[in-house]
Structure 1
Amino acid sequence: MAVDQSNIAKPITDNIYSVGAQDERDQESQLSTMQEVQDRHNVVLYLQISAIIVWIILGNAMIVMGSVYKDDCIIQPNIPIFLLVTGVTHFVISAILLLRVLLHLFSIFLDTAIFLFMFCWFITGSFWVFPMFDQKEEKCAKNLYLFAYGTMTFEWITLWLACICYYCCSKRERHN
């Protein structure tokens, strides 16, 4: 009696492929979710900027109308003043909001630039401090070198702990 061995391995390979497919679907789902969040952020940013532009245009129109017709409302002379003050207020608030949006974008850029500088400087400092351990007493003040060595060691430990925590937290989120 001959046993057909092609069917024996089939359930195992099917299971392996289905697990791989599930991982791909999970990754696609995460990417899709990240894209949706980015899309929502872009829509909100677009709406904020659009609203600011509308308020700037309306504020300018109020300023122009209040200025042009400043003395042409005998029945209520405060209407042109109302339009002038409201237009200036709209313009100032819109400028502040626009500045806030731009500063947020600039803040992201600045944070990234500072992080990259600090990381590069940290690596450079490591190349300067750690190789000199055996020669520290001959050519460098002991307290200065030991302080630099201690702070660099502390920063490396902190960096590795942060990476481990980030990995563990992101792994736990993927399983939830």
Structure 2
Amino acid sequence: MDPSPHVEVGPQRAVRISSLVVLNFIWWMVMIAAIGLGATHLGRCPVQPNIPIYLIVLGTVHLLSLSLTYCQTSWGDGMAYIMCSACTAVLHLFSFGWFFAGTTWVYPVYPPDYTLGASRYCDKTTYQFAFVVTTLVWVATALMFVCGCCFALVTCCKNFILGNRLIPNRYTFYGAIDSHEPAGGDV
């Protein structure tokens, strides 16, 4: 007998999984391109020499983080799972800070001069790639924040309209039936 339960995959779940696979594949390619562009143009952005380094580290950290996430889901419980989870959390925290550092390097020099030898020179492909990736991450972050706020608002409104209380009254506890009288009968 198979120890894992057989999960039926419906059309919506199949679309969701396919979309996640495609998005993961695209993100892998973007991060590989970030490493390649940063490495090949390492000294070609004198207006802000940290931009190629930003791309290299960003790509490396994200690829390592994605790899650990895949390993974590395949290993299941145990010490390896805990270590992968801890390493992934540290990488995500570092990536969060690194993204803010990259933002402070990319946006203040907009637009650089793409003419070789100019004082505000930066390689056009490298700078535009860093600018677009940073902007897309900011847009995705803002979109997730707005969607999260909308979901919270809808949930609160739904609970309010249905009369459900988010905080129980003094006569109830979580999971109990609301009876409006003390549990002992007489007070």
TM-score, with length taken from structure 1: 0.39
Structure showing greater radius of gyration is: 1
TM-score, with length taken from structure 2: 0.37
> Does 1 or 2 have the higher relative contact order (CA < 8 Å, sep 6+)?
2
